[in-house]
Structure 1
Amino acid sequence: MNMNEASLIDLPTELAPSIEAAVEGMEAGRGLPRKLLHELRDKGAFRMLTPRELGGSETSLKTVLQVYEGFGRLDASVAWVVWNANFGFIGALLGEEGNARIWAGDDEPVFSNSGAPGTAIPSDGGYRLSGNWKIVSGIKNADWLTVIGVIVENGSPRLTDAGSPDVRLFVLHRDQLSIKATWNVSGMVGSDSNDVLVNDAFVPEELVARMDVPARIQRPLYQGFMPALVLPGCSAVVLGVAQTAIEETVALALSKKMSNGGGTLSESARAQAVIARSEASLHAARLLLLSAAEALDTAGENGDPVTIEQRAALRSAMSHAAQVSRQVLVEMYELGSSSSLYRGNPLERLFRDGMVALQHANHSAVLFEDAGRVRFGNAPDRLLF
C-alpha cells in the first residue's frame, strides 16, 4: 500500500467531525448538505477510481472498499453517496473527446449512477436514451448521471457478436433529466435516493462506453471486469454500519441495567456470547470480501484476465457479508431491548439505516445461486455478474 492509499483509509476519520455535525441536517433535508459534499469532493473521496490523468487517485479496489467501510462506520448515507459518486473510472472507458466534456470545468465532476437498464435507440451521431431509474443515490448534487442502456433496433434488443444484448454505459448531464422526489423512507434518509426520468435524451457517441471491449486506459485497475469496481461497495458500507452497531451496543451494555436486577447487560453471559460471536462473524466476512477484491487487484497488476470464478467469489463474499451484517444488526437491536426504540439512541438509526442498505439488489441472497452455477461449470444467469 502506497502513502496515498494509506491517507485515503484515514479519510473517514479525518472527516468524522464534519459528518457528525451534518447528521441531523441530512435527516431533515434528505440529502448531504453542500458544504459536506464539497468537503468530501475536495478531499478526494469521489475520485478514488478516476484515472490519474483526470485528477484521480486510481486506488486499488481493496483500499476503496476499506474507505467505504470507514465511512459506513460513521454514517450509512454519507458512505452510500461516496460509493455512488465513485464512477470516475468511466474516464478509462471513454475517449479523450468525451472526457474533455465531463472534466471541462475547474471543479471535479460529481457522478451518480444506476445499474437498472434504460432503452437506447441509435441516432445520427449517438443514441436517444429513455428510462425511469429508481433509487438513484446522490442525484440531487450530481453533475453527471451514468446509467446502463440496452440498444434497441426495430423494437428488439440488438445483439453483440457473442449473442448477448448490446448493453452500454451512457453519461447524461444533469440538465437532461428530471428528478422525481420519491425518497420517503425510514432509513438512509440522507442518501437522496430519488427517481430519475429521462425522455428521449440525445447522448453523443463520445459519451457512450462499451463494457465488452478492453478499456482505453490499460493499467491494472482497469484491466479486469469493470463492473466489479462498483458492485461490492454497498457490502463494504453495511459491514461498517454493523461494526458500529456492535461498538454502540458494547457501550450501552456497560451501563444498561438488566430488568431482573442482576447487574448490567455487560455482565450477562448471553450478551457476552452474542457480542463475541457477532464480532468474529463480522471480522471473517470483512476478510473474505477484502480477499476477493485483492484477487482482482492482483490479476490486474499481473496483467491476467479476471476469471469467472474470481467474479463468483466476489459475489459470494458480498452476499455473505450481507447475511452476516443483517444478523449482527438484528442481534444488536435485540440486545439493546427498549433502548433501541428511541430516536437519539445510535442503535435506532444504525438499525434502520443498515436494513435499508441491505435491501439493495446487490445483496440479494439469490446471487448465491449464480455463484453455485459457476461452481458447477455453468454460466451465470444474471447480467453483469
Structure 2
Amino acid sequence: MSTYESGPLRLPELLSASVKAAAEEMEAGRDLPEKLMQELRDSGAFRLLTPRELGGFEAPLETVLKVYEGFGRLDASVAWVVWNTNWGFLAALLGEAGTARVWADGPDPIFANADQPGTAVVTEGGYRLSGTWKRVSGVDRADWLVVVAVVAEDGSPRLTQAGTPDVRLFALSRDQLSVLDTGDVSGMLGTGSNTVVVDDVLVPDELVARFDVPARTQRPLYHGFIPALVFPGCSAVVLGVAQSAVDEIVALATSKSTFTGGTLAESARAQATVARSEAALQAARLLLLSAAATVDAAGEKGEPATLDQRAALHAAMCHATEVSREVLVAMYELGGSASIDRGNPVERLFRDGMVALQHANHFAPFLEAAGRVRFGFDPGVPLF
C-alpha cells in the first residue's frame, strides 16, 4: 500500500528502518544523510501541509502533529527537519506565479526556514533583503529558504493599516544565500543547523507572502491563522522524544540491577516514576491534539482561529514542554550511570530532547502571553 493510500500517519512506521540505520551517520556528519533525505522526500514527508493540487496531503494540523510525534519517537533530528521543512502551505499564500516558480521541479521542494526577523527594503519589482539567521535547520539540504523580515521605509519599519510593523515571508533560492558552518551543538546534531547570511538580495514580489490578508487558497487548512500551522510542531517532537526515553528505560530496566538487589524493573520507585511519566505525557499529548483540533474545526467552518484558541494552543505547547522536560530528567535519573554512556539510547535522547526544548517556541513568555489573553489583555507577542 502506498503512502497516499494509507495516509501520512504511517510515514514514521514506513521509514523507521531507514531512520534508525542513519543514526550514526547523522551524529558524525552533523546533518541528515542525502540518502535519508531522498527517502523522506520520495515518501511525501515534506508534503504534509502542501495543497492537494500540488501533490500534497493538505492534512489537518492534528494529523500533522501526530506525524511529527511519531518521527520524534524514532529520532529527534529527523523529526525536527521534517517539521521545519513542511512549509508547503506557502503555496496557499503566494500568487500563481510564485507557486509555479517554487514548485517548478515537482511536488517536493525542501524548505529551510528561520524566524528571527531580517530587513527588507522596497525596490522596483520586489524587495532588497538582508539579514543573518542562526541555527537554520536543514539548510544544506534545502532547495529554498523562507525567512521573516520587516519591511523598512525611510530607515524605519513600515506600518500596516492596523498600526503594526509590516512583517512578510520571503522565499529565496539556495543560490541566493551563504551558509556558515556554525552548527557545533550538544544535541540534535543531525539537523545541520547552521548560520545563513543574506546580503542585499533581490526577492521579487511573486516570492513574497503576507500574513495579514486571507490566503489565496480558501480551504479549511488555510482559513485560519497560518503561523499556527508552524508553532506546535516542535512540541509534538519533544513529546515523541520523551516517550521514546520512557520506552528505552523500560527496556533497560529488565536487566539493570540496583544497589538494593533485584532489577530496576522490580523497583517500586521505577514503577511509579514510569507510570507517572507516561500518564503525564499522554495527558499533555491529548491536550496538544485537542487544541490543534479546535484550530482545525475553525478552518472547517471557514473561520480563522480566534485569539482564545491560539492562546490555548500556546498554553498546550508550554505544558507539553514542562512535562517533556520533567520526563526526560526522570528517565535520565532512572538510567543511572547507563545514561551517561555514549551509545546508550537514553544518553542521546536526553541530549536531543533538552536541545529541542530550548527552541524559542517553548519559552515561558508564550505561557505568560496565553495568560494575558485570558485576562483580556493583548498577548504582547508577535505573530501570537
The normalised TM-score by structure 2 is 0.98
Tell me the percent identity: 67
**Distance in 2, Cα, partners of 1:124 & 1:272:** 66
- 1:99-118 mapped onto 2 (5 Å cutoff): 99-106=99-106, 108-118=108-118
Letter in structure 1 aligned against 2:53: E
Partner of 2:311: 312
Letter in structure 2 aligned against 1:368: L
Instruction: Establish whether residue 356 from structure 1 lines up as the match of residue 355 from structure 2.
Output: yes
**Distance in 2, Cα, partners of 1:142 & 1:5:** 27
- 1:120-131 mapped onto 2 (5 Å cutoff): 120-131=120-131
How far 1:304 moved relative to its partner?
2.3
Letter in structure 2 aligned against 1:232: P
Partner of 1:271: 270
**Distance in 1, Cα, partners of 2:112 & 2:316:** 25
Partner of 2:76: 76
How far 1:108 moved relative to its partner?
2.2
Deviations, residues 170-222 of structure 1 (Å, cap 9, x unaligned): 00001000001110111000000111000000000000001000000000000
Alignment size in residue pairs: 382
Deviations, residues 210-268 of structure 1 (Å, cap 9, x unaligned): 100000000000000000000000000000000000000011111100023x2011111
Letter in structure 2 aligned against 1:150: V
- 1:1-385 mapped onto 2 (5 Å cutoff): 4=4, 7-106=7-106, 108-260=108-260, 262-385=261-384
**Distance in 1, Cα, partners of 2:107 & 2:222:** 24
How far 1:305 moved relative to its partner?
2.5
Letter in structure 2 aligned against 1:96: E
- 2:8, 2:57 within 8 Å by CA — same for their partners in 1? no
Give the root-mean-square deviation of aligned CA atoms: 1.0
SS of 2:303's partner is coil
Runs of 4+ in 1 over 4 A off after TM superposition: 3-6
How far 1:5 moved relative to its partner?
8.6
Q: Which runs of 5+ in 1 are unaligned?
A: none
Distance 1:83 1:5, change over 3 A: farther
Letter in structure 2 aligned against 1:264: T
SS of 1:209's partner is strand
SS of 2:109's partner is coil
SS of 2:164's partner is coil
SS of 1:88's partner is coil
- 1:5, 1:63 within 8 Å by CA — same for their partners in 2? no
Deviations, residues 77-113 of structure 1 (Å, cap 9, x unaligned): 0000000110010000000000111111146211111
**Distance in 2, Cα, partners of 1:5 & 1:224:** 27
- 2:168, 2:209 within 8 Å by CA — same for their partners in 1? yes
SS of 2:217's partner is coil
- 1:5, 1:59 within 8 Å by CA — same for their partners in 2? no
Distance 1:191 1:31, change over 3 A: same
**Distance in 1, Cα, partners of 2:43 & 2:59:** 14
- 2:47, 2:107 within 8 Å by CA — same for their partners in 1? no
Deviations, residues 124-157 of structure 1 (Å, cap 9, x unaligned): 0100000000110000000000000100001100
**Distance in 1, Cα, partners of 2:324 & 2:29:** 27
Q: Which runs of 5+ in 2 are unaligned?
A: none
- 1:151, 1:158 within 8 Å by CA — same for their partners in 2? yes
Letter in structure 1 aligned against 2:306: T
The normalised TM-score by structure 1 is 0.98
Letter in structure 2 aligned against 1:323: E
SS of 1:366's partner is helix
Letter in structure 1 aligned against 2:210: R
Letter in structure 1 aligned against 2:342: R
**Distance in 2, Cα, partners of 1:324 & 1:384:** 25
SS of 1:32's partner is coil
